[in-house]
Amino acid sequence: MKIKRHIMVHNSLPDGANALTINSGTVFHTHHQPPVVKYLDEEFVPEYVAHAYVNKRDWRKLTAEELTCLTPDETRNDHNTIYLGEIPNELKACFKELELDESADRKEVYVRFQSNPELTQKATQLLHEFLVPYANDKKFNFHCIGINFPNIELVACNTTMLPEGYKQADKKCLGIHNDGTQLMTIETAHEFGNRISINLGKDSRYFLFVNLPLKVARKMLEEKLSTDEFIQVNISNIPEYFFKHFPDYPVIRVEQKPYQYYIAATDNCFHDGSTLGGKHLDVCIVYFGNFQY
Ligand SMILES: [Fe+2]
């Protein structure tokens, strides 16, 4: 299946189009054996939630036609465009000096921030200054420091139900998903802004996404499903329905090298992160806002 012209990509990465690859769609998670994760004293094969779908692995460069299909126009905004780029050198230098990328685990990341209050303050200030021009005169806020083990094909999982001190192997990966909450519907998911996620680790990480707003995915399902089935589709189960009925819709993958960022409305499109091939701890910093430029 060809990608449709919906979510666009504003790409300022030094690698340009070479940072992007595309595949031929998705499969139910049981079709693939996830790679073994060996890190620190843990060794496990990640497990998925029962209804998860995952990307096929036939990544290739995009054709000229596909790149044109993603080229942003003047209608670009916080929910119809994914922005890719690199943080300014001064901010990069600040994060480098903090040596977050030398951290072996989550605790070490926090210790590096805590033991360098001045550098942490400077990084926060520089990050704020970097984001202001992109914030569309709206509020933005720090969301989290995201930490993942290396070599996890699709990192997203829900840890809120796990007991304190859980092992990585206890997590259940969601597969390609929309972030969504109970506060939103498929129709309103585009109204909740977007996020910027900056890679602060040592390795490349990947951002995977399907370039369809949820509303469009829903429309495609409406044309495919019986009325009885279609009325079951909601913000929580839409990935399941979509990937079951459109397994050939391609997934796009962005390589995010250290200090590179993506900005995406992750409530409004199917996506996930990947640390496949990595050897070191994955560290990223995430802000919520309505970023666009
Ligand atoms: Fe997500």
Tell me the pLDDT tens digit for each residue of 58-81: 999 999 999 999 999 999 999 999
pLDDT(163) > 90: no
Q: Could you tell me the distance, in angstroms and rounded to a whole number, from the CA of residue 115 to the centre of ligand 1?
A: 30
Supply the range of the domain harboring residue 113: 8-289
Nearest Cα neighbor of 207 from 263, 148, 246, 157 is 263
The answer as to whether 86 is a domain residue is: yes
Q: Which of 44-53, 120-129, 160-169 bottoms out in mean pLDDT, i.e. has the lowest?
A: 160-169
Residue 146 lies in a domain: yes
Report, as an integer, the average pLDDT of 234-252.
97
How much is the average pLDDT of 258-273? Answer: 98
3-state SS track over 144-212: EEEEECCCCCCCCECCCCCCCCCCHHHCEECCCECCCCCCCCCCCHHHCCEEEEEECCCCCEEEEECCC
pLDDT of amino acid 161 = 77
Average pLDDT over residues 45-50: 95
Predicted local confidence at residue 247, as pLDDT = 98
Q: Give the count of domains, the chain.
A: 1
CA–centroid distance, residue 170 to ligand 1 (Å): 19
Element (H, E) at 216: helix 214-224
Look at residue 32 and tell me if it is in a domain.
yes
Cα 177 to averaged position of ligand 1 atoms, centre (Å): 6
pLDDT at 3: 98
> What mean pLDDT do residues 154-174 have?
86
**pLDDT of 159 over the 90 cut:** no
Looking at the chain, the whole-number percentage of residues with pLDDT higher than 70 is: 100
In a domain, residue 84? The reply is yes
> Which pLDDT score, from 0 to 100, does residue 226 have?
97
CA of 58 to the centre of ligand 1 (A): 22
Surrounding ion ligand 1 within 5 Å at CB are 156, 179, 266
pLDDT reading at 165 higher than 90: no
Asked if 72 and 32 count as a contact pair (C-beta separation under 8 A), the reply is no
First and final CA of the chain: distance in angstroms? 30
121/10 Cα distance (integer angstroms): 30
Per-residue confidence band for 14, with pLDDT thresholds at 50, 70 and 90: very high
pLDDT in tens, 71-124: 999 999 999 999 999 999 999 999 999 999 999 999 999 999 999 999 999 999
Neighbouring residues of 34: CB distance < 8 A, sequence distance ≥ 6 = 45, 46, 47, 48, 152, 153, 173
CA pair distance 250, 22, nearest whole angstrom: 6
How much distance in Å is there from the Cα of 7 to the middle of ligand 1?
Answer: 16
Ligand 1 center from residue 272 Cα (angstroms): 6
Distance 179 CA to ligand 1 centre (A): 5
- The whole-angstrom separation of Cα 5 and Cα 54 is 22
Asked if residue 1 is part of any domain, the answer here is: no
The pLDDT tens digits of the residues spanning 192-217 come to: 999 999 999 999 999 999 999 999 99
For residue 38, what pLDDT band results from cuts at 50, 70 and 90?
A: very high
Q: How far apart are CA 100 and CA 138, in angstroms?
A: 29
User: What is the chain's alpha carbon radius of gyration, rounded to the nearest angstrom?
Assistant: 19
pLDDT category at 167 given cuts 50, 70, 90 is confident
What's the CA dihedral at 59, 60, 62, 63 to 10 degrees?
A: -140
* 137 band by pLDDT with thresholds 50, 70 and 90: very high
Q: In terms of Cα–Cα distance, which of 287, 86, 75 is closest to 193?
A: 287
Task: With cut-offs at 50, 70 and 90, classify the pLDDT of residue 166.
Answer: confident
Task: Quickly tell me which residue has 């990480």 as its tokens.
Answer: 205
CA of 32 to the centre of ligand 1 (A): 21
CB 214 within 8 Å of CB 239: no
Q: Are strands 282-289 and 141-148 parallel, antiparallel or unpaired?
A: antiparallel
Say if 2 falls within a structural domain. no
pLDDT for 181? 77
